[in-house]
Amino acid sequence: MLNKKTVDDLNVKGKRVLVRCDFNVPVKDGVITDDNRITASLPTIRKLMNDGAKVILCSHMGKPKGEVKPELSLAPVAERLSEKLGVEVKFAKDDNVVGENAKAAVEAMKDGDVILLENTRFRKEETKNEDNFSKELASLADIYVDDAFGSSHRAHCSTVGVTKYVAESAVGYLMEKEIEYLGNAVENPVRPFAAILGGAKVSDKINVINNLLEKVDILIIGGGMAYTFIKALGGTVGNSLLEEDKVEYAKEMIFKASQKGVKFLLPIDTVIVKEFKNDALSDIVPTGLIPDGWMGVDIGPETRSLFTEALKDAKTVVWNGPMGVFEFPNFAKGTEAIAEALAHIDGTTIIGGGDSAAAVNQLGYGDRMSHISTGGGASLEFLEGKELPGVAAVQDK
């Protein structure tokens, strides 16, 4: 159970509450194209408004690297928030984030008001967790609330440093929900517990595989990272994604799975192409027999059945990473099959953010999952068993 203070433990009436949200949303030509993260932040904001707090929101967006990049301004987020909350969310437009506009706006706030600060990463100190910017942020508020799960694996001023300079800190509802789902899955799963990993690189998920092998009953590996395992088993993988320097590690993990009694499943057939494009001529071959000049871009039909069957009776499933190059519709079948299998599971299904979350939402299965994480990187670090600095920094209950 989470032993951190939450917004339910706070008395915020009349207090200035700085809330770190994750408003790192995609924006195209000034228009937000996916506002799931904004929607996910609303319960905490509404709770604080209703309790009479002066709510000061902050977030980063993209990677401006300490420079002011107008295309990464949070101005469109303030507009979208105003629409969703039905009240004006004033945008404190200061290039230095905590400047004259922000200070004046905070000064003028009444209980229940909401304002939004500019992109915290316009300040170069933010990602270095430097004290001066942490202090400036803290100077605006009495209480700090961290609801930015997607940024909680980073020790930055607005996620960690600021907590040193406020009287009280707590996690928001989104953070609480993320930790509860992911934490319960990993520490207290209803069994059988299955994990599905996909995506491009083994190297990104080394510690996740190692840690999950201690916890799961079934581990399924698909996507580009599967070919390093196929190679470890003596297969030929043609031009498929391969990390030669991770083949030994893959062998160790296969051995570890057998020692731990974990059912370890790899693709048995593969959709292959010679050219990396959606309408490329394709074929289907056994995974370990990919000819020279061809590359695997999706799991094949037999693998789809194998994986679906293995997941059928699972009671807890965690999924991170696509089964193939799902951005090309012709090679999205494997990823779609996993999304569909999860939609039919009678148990807890957790999607670890990023591409898998996009795939599930695209297919309209979003509502059928128990939890879709808002943080790809953070959820992976959680699955590695790491303590998230943004969570650790918040006061205990």
Answer for which of 161, 172, 189, 199 binds ligand AMP (CB under 6 A) is: 199
One residue of 252, 313, 327, 387 binding ligand AMP per CB under 6 A? 327
- Name the strand (E) or helix (H) holding 285: strand 282-286
Q: Residue 54's CB: how many other CB atoms inside 10 A?
A: 25
Q: Based on the residue annotation, tell me whether 246 is a catalytic residue of this protein.
A: no
Task: Pick the piece of the chain touching ligand AMP (CB under 6 A) from 108-116, 123-131, 199-207, 310-318.
Answer: 199-207
The region of 57-65, 132-140, 324-332, 359-367 touching ligand AMP under the rule CB under 6 A is 324-332
Among 189, 296, 347, 353, contact with ligand AMP (rule: CB under 6 A): 296
Distance of CA 323 to the CA centre of its chain: 17
Tokens linked to 64: 């401006």
Largest CA distance in the chain: 69
- The site that binds ligand AMP (CB under 6 A) totals a number of residues, namely 16
CA distances to 18, 38, 94, 214, 243 from 122, in Å: 18, 20, 10, 41, 36
Interface pick for ligand AMP out of 172, 355, 382, 390 (rule CB under 6 A): 355
Contact stretch for ligand AMP (CB under 6 A) within 8-16, 46-54, 105-113, 195-203: 195-203
> Closest-CB residue for ligand AMP?
199
CA–CA separation, 391 vs 19, rounded Å? 14
354 is catalytic: yes
Closest distance of CB 234 from ligand AMP, Å:
19
- Catalytically annotated residue among 15, 16, 20, 37: 37
Which listed residue (40, 213, 237, 297) binds ligand AMP by CB under 6 A?
297
**Does residue number 224 form part of the binding site for ligand AMP (CB under 6 A)?**
yes
**Could you write out the DSSP letters of every residue in 45-69?**
HHHHHHTT-EEEEE---S--TTS--
Cα(128)–Cα(124) distance, rounded to whole angstroms?
Answer: 7
201 binds ligand AMP (CB under 6 A): yes
**Nearer Cβ to ligand AMP, position 173 or 382?**
382
- Quote the tokens at residue 18: 């700085």
Is the backbone of residue 231 left (phi > 0), alpha (psi -120 to 50) or beta?
A: alpha
DSSP letters for 316-332: EEEEES-SS-TTSGGG-
Shortest distance, position 19 Cβ to ligand AMP, whole Å: 29
Rounded to 5°, the CA angle 376-321-77 comes to 35
Residues 233-262 within binding reach of ligand AMP (CB under 6 A): 241
| Among residues 150, 172, 321, 375, the one that binds ligand AMP under rule CB under 6 A | 321
Cα separation of 397 and 215, whole Å?
Answer: 28
Smallest distance, ligand AMP to C-beta of residue 353, A = 9
CB of 18 or CB of 202, closer to ligand AMP:
202
Task: Compute how many other C-beta atoms are within 10 angstroms of the C-beta atom of residue 108.
Answer: 11
Residue type (1 letter), 378: A
Q: Is 244 strand, coil or helix?
A: helix
The residues assigned a catalytic role are 37, 201, 354, 377
Binding site for ligand AMP (CB under 6 A): 199-201, 204, 223-224, 241, 296-297, 321-322, 324-325, 327, 354-355
